[in-house]
Amino acid sequence: MRDNIHVSEAGFAPNPNRAIRVEGQLNEALLGRLRPRILELTAQNRDPITVFINSRGGSSKVGEGILSLLRRTTEHDSRASRIITVVAPQAESSAANLLSAGDFAIVYPGSTLLYHGARWPLQELTPVGGNVRFLPISA
């Protein structure tokens, strides 16, 4: 874990004013609901976008679609916004993959994570104020 980065630092703090909420199952309906907000945020500027996640998972293609929209650039600016992902309070399966795909992932005490068969590279997670609790996998 990087000891020199603090969540309160500019560019790493979650910002509810530039955020989307991934709640419920990752499916086409969710993607359709989030698309206008993501396009609005990426058109405004390149400031970080916060993704609050409370999901047991769903379609990995939908998770990849959300990430693709979040990384969107414009013809006037080829930079992508930094993505700050936050577990609020659970990220399981494809939702955990989405969490890990953020540029800066935050996990609060009591959060629940479940990874299985992940095909996305796992980034460093930043526990805030306590330990991360992982769900046990039973045989």
Fold of 18-134: 2-enoyl-CoA Hydratase; Chain A, domain 1 (3.90.226)
Per DSSP, the residues of 35-55 read HHHHHHHHHH-SS-EEEEEEE
Identify the pLDDT of residue 13.
87
Identify the pLDDT of residue 135.
44
Of 69, 114, 119, 72, give the one whose Cα is nearest residue 95: 114
Mean pLDDT, contiguous 10-residue spans, the chain (139 residues): 52 90 98 98 95 96 96 90 94 94 89 74 57 45
Identify the pLDDT of residue 2.
46
Output the pTM of the full model.
Answer: 0.80
